[in-house]
Amino acid sequence: MIHRQLGPVPLETMKKAIEIAKQLNADPSKFVPGGKLIASYKACGQSLVVCIWEVSTVDTLIPLVEQMNFMEWETEVIPAEKMATFIPKAEKLLVEMASS
């Protein structure tokens, strides 16, 4: 997920965002039940946060995305899979494409 801040944020909202970030780092399962936070980065000098989650379904992220939206952050969700999962799928697709 890529979170981008939507314009200037009042100090009280920013304080709340920092508190939520602390809670998220302490116990990610409170925000995405069953999800595993792989990594979370704040871009230096930009209003941008990048988080990598491992979840069983993208729907699991919706409550977190909605909460971020209420705090004036726009979120882009980019589904991804491990290369070990992707390679067999890609090979199968190539075989199917070559035979049609």
- Residue spans per domain, the chain: 2-99
pLDDT of residue 14: 84
**Chain mean pLDDT for the chain:** 93
pLDDT of residue 42: 94
pTM attached to this predicted model: 0.81
Q: What HEC string does the chain produce?
A: CEEEECCCCCHHHHHHHHHHHHHHHHCHHHCCCCCEEEEEEECCCCCEEEEEEECCCHHHHHHHHHHHHHCCEEEECCCCCCHHHHHHHHHHHHHHHHHC
Whether the pLDDT of residue 50 is over 90: the answer is yes
